[in-house]
Amino acid sequence: MDERFHFPPDVFNLLVDTIPLLCKGKDDVLLFLRGAGVPQEDLATMTAQVRADRNSVSKFAIVRDVLEKLNKRGDSALAARREVIKRVVEFEEFSMCWESDVPTRQRQRSAI
């Protein structure tokens, strides 16, 4: 296994599938990643693409692109990688998600 890649494939794919569901918009995805300590250089391409043409990229593509760059940074991005996982695991507020993205259990609780 290439030592430069620190998220195992299964964790990487789970993050790509999950983060876009936690964030309602593309700007929110970028903010989530920026808040986790992802370097601006890793966000620059996707930020520019979203500003130029929002419809040209999906939230899933943004996360995949940025996490690939973060993975390639090796040990220098350890803190940011850990913070991304921490933020996903500790996520509890689903009010910013689209209704269809809120976990069923959370919807049932809010209906009570």
Measured CA to CA, the distance from residue 10 to residue 18 in angstroms comes to 12
| Residue 33 in this model has a pLDDT that exceeds 80 | yes
- Contact indicator for 50, 30 with CB cutoff of 8 Å: yes
Is residue 108 pLDDT above 60, yes or no?
no
Q: Looking at the domain assignment, is residue 61 inside a domain?
A: yes
**What is the per-residue pLDDT for 18?**
92
- Tokens representing 54 are 């929002």
Mean pLDDT of the 35-63 span: 96
Closest CA to 60 of 86, 83, 29: 29
Q: For position 94, what pLDDT does the model report?
A: 65
Containing domain of residue 54, as a range?
9-111
Whether residue 4 is contained in a domain is answered as: no
Residue 82 lies in a domain: yes
Average pLDDT over all residues of the chain? 84
State both tokens at 64: 């995949």
Name which residue leads in pLDDT, 107 or 49: 49
Residue 103 confidence (pLDDT): 55
- For residue 95, being part of any structural domain is answered with yes
Q: What total of structural domains would you count in the chain?
A: 1
76-98 tens-digit pLDDT: 888 999 999 999 998 877 666 66
